[in-house]
Amino acid sequence: MKRKLIMIATLCMLIIFSIGTISYAVSPQVQANIAAQDNFKTLLKSINTEYRDFYFTTKDEVSKAKLGNPIQWATIDINKYDPSIKISDQVTREPFYTYPVIAGNNVITDFSIILKNEEWHVVDFGGALTKNIYKLANENNFNPGDCFLLNFGGDIFVIVNKNGEEMAFSPYYSDQNAGLKEKTLVNSDIIKKSFMNKVRNIQEKVKQGNYKTIGSNEVYMDFLR
């Protein structure tokens, strides 16, 4: 894993100049797609015997790998969170996208890219976030393209528009008090209950001096800095 992180950091330094030259006249998603597609193959070519560190099982999978459609990240300012409003109506969409890495018909891993300091950066190559999303989408008959990713209080949530109804799940987080079980698609009202539990917990930590503020970036979006 350490070797993998060193490789990613080194490769990102090498490709950052080409990413940073993309015209800002186009939308952030178009910029992200250009940056991701232009540099994904560069990263793939650098994977040799370490392919298992990137969730591939064979070298053949590496040669066939391509990027699927991106899923955008969003944030909510905890100070302004209102459980009476739809989650999707109170988020800020961030210039941060996670792509499924696909080989054949299988989602292998994740490829993430973010706009920071006016340059596109490869954040990570690895993980199983999109794999979980596609699995839940198949089981619950929704389109992964109708999702966005939300980091709230330090945990990841996937907000889904299923036939006009707002639903959601968390790939890794459970909240028994709210009736939330990980990897289980639920009505967004359950997620809102979990959010309120998090808000109360964070407010208590603020009182104890564990947080400087309960604003969105300072509390749980360090990876966007």
Q: How far apart are CA 150 and CA 88, in angstroms?
A: 10
CA angle 102/103/104 to nearest 5° reads 115
pLDDT reported for residue 3: 53
Residue 119 to residue 198: CA distance in whole angstroms: 32
Collapsing DSSP to helix, strand or coil, 82 comes out as: coil
* Helix (H/G/I), strand (E/B), else coil: 184: coil
The domain total for the chain is 1
pLDDT digits (tens, 9 = 90+) for 137-194: 999 999 999 999 999 988 999 999 999 999 999 999 999 999 999 999 999 999 999 9
- Token representation of residue 137: 């989408």
Q: Which residues 6+ apart lie within 8 Å of 182 measured at CB?
A: 169, 170, 171, 172, 173, 174
Alpha-carbon dihedral sign for residues 2, 12, 94, 70: negative
Q: Which residues contact 25 (CB under 8 A, 6 or more apart)?
A: none
Mean pLDDT of the region 49-76 = 93
- What average pLDDT score do residues 66-90 get? 95
CA distance 135 to 185: 11
Q: Residue 219 has what pLDDT?
A: 39
Range of the domain at 202: 2-224
